Amino acid sequence: MLTIEKLQIWMIALQATYHENKQYLTDLDAAIGDADHGINMDRGYTAVKKNIETTEHKDIGSLLKTTAMTLISSVGGASGPLYGTFFLRASTVCMGKTELTDAEFVAMFKVGLHGIVQRGKANLADKTMVDALTPALEAMTQALENGATLTDILQAGTDAAEQGMQQTIPMLAKKGRASYLGERSIGHQDPGATSAYLMLKTALDSWGE
């Protein structure tokens, strides 16, 4: 079972992850975007960490909603609205719950991803975070159906997200600032897919047994 305490640990750990990878994500974004993705993610999750540590949350839904609204209000560019939408949609299936089953976690992830797709209007192979998150959801769903533990579910999702992230390198960008570059976007790893992979990897590192 995933308790609200474990969810809080994940959110706080994400601040450290994005702070440590701020330059890496910014360098990736410099090649095909505004050179601010790492800076934005670091700023957003620094604010999330502060809000989580100073606000009492009675259930997972309110925790995720606070995360969502903080990201939307503090992160510039597309990242804030997209990650904010992920956690805002995820919060709707967690209201009143102080712990989640493995199935509920995967369901939460599914709802969040659907929110990103609807908000960003991105499809697979558009060279976005969707290219990391979609295969991750498919892998986690399959692992869940096979009766895997949470650690194995997250491992499957993380591995799939990493592969999806790497597969954005030869893609032509069709969304966002990178799409303006046309053919020049080919050969660069998508920063959004990278931060999405890091989100899952941090969950695995935080909860892995």
The C-alpha atoms of residue 157 and residue 142 are separated, in whole angstroms, by 10
Q: How confident is the model at residue 8, as a pLDDT?
A: 96
Query: Where do the domains of the chain lie?
Result: 2-207
Alpha-helix runs per DSSP H in the chain? 4-20, 22-32, 37-54, 60-74, 79-92, 102-120, 130-145, 150-166, 191-207
Per-residue pLDDT of the chain (209 residues; tens, 9 = 90+): 899 999 999 999 999 999 999 999 999 999 988 889 999 999 999 999 999 999 999 999 999 999 999 999 998 778 899 999 999 999 999 999 999 999 999 999 999 999 999 999 988 999 999 999 999 999 999 999 999 999 999 999 999 999 999 999 999 888 776 766 667 779 999 999 999 999 999 999 999 75
Give Cα 42 to chain centroid, integer Å. Answer: 13
Q: Domain 2-207 carries which CATH code?
A: 1.25.40.340
The C-alpha atoms of residue 46 and residue 98 are separated, in whole angstroms, by 24
Q: How confident is the model at residue 177, as a pLDDT?
A: 67
Q: How confident is the model at residue 180, as a pLDDT?
A: 62
Q: Does the pTM of the predicted model rise above 0.75?
A: yes
Q: How confident is the model at residue 179, as a pLDDT?
A: 67
**Exposure on the CB side of residue 78, measured as CA atoms within 13 A:** 20
Please report, as a single letter, which amino acid is at residue 94. Answer: C
Assess contact for 63 and 8: CB atoms under 8 A.
Answer: yes
